[in-house]
């Protein structure tokens, strides 16, 4: 087989066979197929798509490209969640401790920032000492002891996705249904949990911009998960507006701690409670109403916060940052962006806001780039808020002063102000299970 021929085939919209997909993934992982040919294939898939059969076979081939984790050394039901990625999407940092605080184990493998979206591993690494590369046995011990651990895609877990993810991030090939579905589900299947909740984002800051595309992605992922024998559901949640106020790694850590203290932004808190409740429900911890109450109670009584601190300390992080989030290093340069006119915030280009955060240093433009954990922005005004001229829309933070002017210009263009207040937006649009779609 020749990669050239497979690229040519996909470029013309033809289906790849199971043997071709297997050959391509193995060759790429073994470094026999170079990045430039795989980049061309990714772009061909981006434009031509894949059938359900191709997507399912790609997923299973990717999942099997490295170790398939056997979580049986961890006692009890193991739950996992994965987001398709958003701006200010720090839900994992809140949900994982809430679920662990209610007796369901979470042995989670998370990613780094991708495109304009942030990644949980980058956020957790803003805590001094926090280790995201932990040997398998120790990872299991931590989960058995503290209920949860979040590690990076280290070792030999889904090496195909590790390589593809980094390549997609820098070749503008992220927002493709078969590529997202296979990336997420290969990791979830290889990571071994029994119960999986997918957070499929929709709107201007999501990879899927429309509700119908998001539902199609959710259906594809739930079908793949179910076929692989997992209890799997998806919530379609809003990403037309950034979640919470903070965007950027350590800023998002601070905001997540606020949510667990019961003082977080209402939108972020509500989405976290819904996702945590669904994880508990999929792990058979009660009815959905009981699981929602469990999630709410673990914020109110501080059990979620304690579980976060336990997890951070067991992974080598400095737990005093959880008690005193003001200790997070603050970027030395900041600039306020102000409104020029009066009205209501009628649109936020959330993808552009994610790009502003990357421009300030919080994300990567090339896969080997280092990141500035303290960079990012705090949104002072969000969709629907009234504004007067001179009101601060957002505060930008960075360690590199010369990045500010370009970021300010882009952020200003990301806000639209109108005389009329726009319609209320939902936070959760639908729930997709193997039995169908429930719209809210």
Which two three-digit tokens encode residue 244? 């919470």
The single-letter DSSP state of residue 301 is T
CA 210 to each of CA 61, 207, 241: distance values in angstroms, whole numbers, following the listed order? 29, 9, 13
Query: Of the listed pieces 139-147, 180-188, 334-342, 353-361, which binds ligand URA according to CB under 6 A?
Result: 180-188
- DSSP H helical ranges for 192-302: 211-227, 249-260, 266-282, 288-300
Residue nearest to ligand URA (CB): 183
How many residues in total does the chain contain? 440
Q: Which is nearer to ligand URA, 84 or 269 (CB)?
A: 84
Which of 25, 180, 243, 322 forms a contact with ligand URA (CB under 6 A)? 180
**Contact between 98 and ligand URA per CB under 6 A:** no
Q: Nearest distance from residue 204's CB to ligand URA, in Å?
A: 16
DSSP 83-119: E---SS--HHHHHHHHHHHTT-BEEEEE---BTTB--
Which two three-digit tokens encode residue 41? 């294939």
Which two three-digit tokens encode residue 369? 């780039």
Restricting to residues 62-91, name those near ligand URA by CB under 6 A: 84-85
Which two three-digit tokens encode residue 403? 């990045």
End-to-end CA distance of the chain, in Å? 48
Q: Nearest distance from residue 174's CB to ligand URA, in Å?
A: 6
Q: Which of 223, 274, 262, 253 is nearest to 83 (CA)?
A: 274
Q: Nearest distance from residue 110's CB to ligand URA, in Å?
A: 9
Active site residue 168: yes
Neighbours of 234 (CB within 10 A): 27
**Contact between 118 and ligand URA per CB under 6 A:** no
Q: Which is nearer to ligand URA, 85 or 264 (CB)?
A: 85
Active site residue 373: no
Active site residue 187: yes
**Contact between 363 and ligand URA per CB under 6 A:** no
**Contact between 186 and ligand URA per CB under 6 A:** no
Active site residue 53: no
Q: Which is nearer to ligand URA, 140 or 207 (CB)?
A: 207
The catalytic position among 65, 110, 183, 298 is 183
373 neighbors 361 (Cβ within 8 angstroms): no
Active site residue 369: no
Q: Which of 83, 80, 79 is nearest to 199 (CA)?
A: 83
**Contact between 111 and ligand URA per CB under 6 A:** yes
**Contact between 114 and ligand URA per CB under 6 A:** yes
Q: Which is nearer to ligand URA, 165 or 328 (CB)?
A: 165
The single-letter DSSP state of residue 78 is B
Bridge partners (DSSP) listed for residue 333 = 398
Q: Which is nearer to ligand URA, 10 or 116 (CB)?
A: 116
Measured CA to CA, the distance from residue 407 to residue 404 in angstroms comes to 5
Q: Which of 251, 302, 268, 312 is nearest to 98 (CA)?
A: 302
The catalytic position among 78, 82, 108, 163 is 82
Which of 184, 268, 396, 407 forms a contact with ligand URA (CB under 6 A)? 184
- Where do contacts with ligand URA occur on this chain (CB under 6 A)? 84-85, 111, 114, 174, 179-180, 183-184
Name the residues annotated as catalytic.
82, 161, 168, 183, 187
């Amino acid at each position: 087989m020749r990669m050239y021929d497979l690229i040519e085939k996909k470029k013309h919209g033809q289906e790849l066979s199971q043997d071709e997909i297997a050959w391509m993934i193995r060759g790429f992982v073994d470094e026999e197929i170079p990045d430039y040919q795989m980049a061309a294939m990714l772009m061909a898939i981006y434009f031509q798509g894949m059938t359900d059969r191709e997507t399912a076979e790609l997923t299973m081939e990717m999942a099997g490209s490295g170790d398939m984790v056997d979580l049986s050394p961890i006692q009890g039901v193991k739950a996992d969640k994965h987001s398709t990625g958003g701006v200010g999407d720090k839900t994992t940092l809140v949900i994982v401790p809430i679920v662990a605080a209610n007796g369901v184990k979470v042995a989670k493998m998370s990613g780094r920032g991708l495109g304009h979206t942030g990644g949980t591993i980058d956020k957790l690494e803003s805590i001094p000492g926090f280790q995201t590369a932990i040997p398998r046995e120790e990872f299991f011990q931590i989960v058995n002891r503290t209920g949860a651990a979040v590690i990076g895609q280290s070792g030999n877990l889904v090496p195909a996705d590790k390589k593809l993810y980094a390549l997609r991030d820098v070749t503008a090939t992220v927002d493709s249904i078969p590529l997202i579905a296979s990336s997420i589900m290969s990791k979830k299947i290889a990571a071994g949990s029994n119960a999986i909740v997918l957070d499929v984002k929709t709107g201007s800051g999501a990879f899927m911009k429309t509700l119908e595309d998001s539902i199609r992605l959710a259906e594809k992922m739930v079908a793949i998960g179910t076929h692989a024998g997992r209890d799997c559901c998806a919530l379609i949640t809003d990403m037309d507006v950034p979640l919470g106020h903070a965007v950027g790694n350590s800023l998002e850590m601070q905001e997540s701690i606020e949510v667990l203290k019961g003082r977080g932004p209402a939108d972020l808190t509500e989405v976290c409670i819904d996702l945590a409740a669904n994880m508990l429900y999929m792990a058979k911890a009660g009815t959905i109403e009981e699981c929602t109450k469990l999630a709410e109670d673990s914020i109110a009584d501080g059990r979620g916060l304690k579980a976060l601190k336990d997890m951070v300390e067991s992974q080598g992080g400095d737990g005093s940052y959880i008690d005193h989030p003001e200790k997070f290093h603050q970027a030395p340069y900041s600039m306020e962006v102000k409104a020029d006119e009066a009205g209501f915030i009628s649109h936020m280009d959330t993808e552009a806001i994610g790009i502003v955060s990357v421009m300030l240093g919080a994300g990567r433009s090339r896969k080997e780039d280092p990141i500035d954990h303290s960079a990012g922005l705090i949104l002072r005004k969000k969709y629907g808020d009234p504004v007067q001229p001179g009101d601060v829309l957002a505060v930008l933070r960075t360690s590199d002063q010369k990045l500010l002017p370009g970021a300010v210009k882009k952020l200003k263009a990301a806000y639209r102000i109108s005389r009329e207040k726009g319609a209320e937006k939902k936070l959760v649009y639908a729930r997709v299970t193997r039995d169908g779609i429930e719209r809210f």
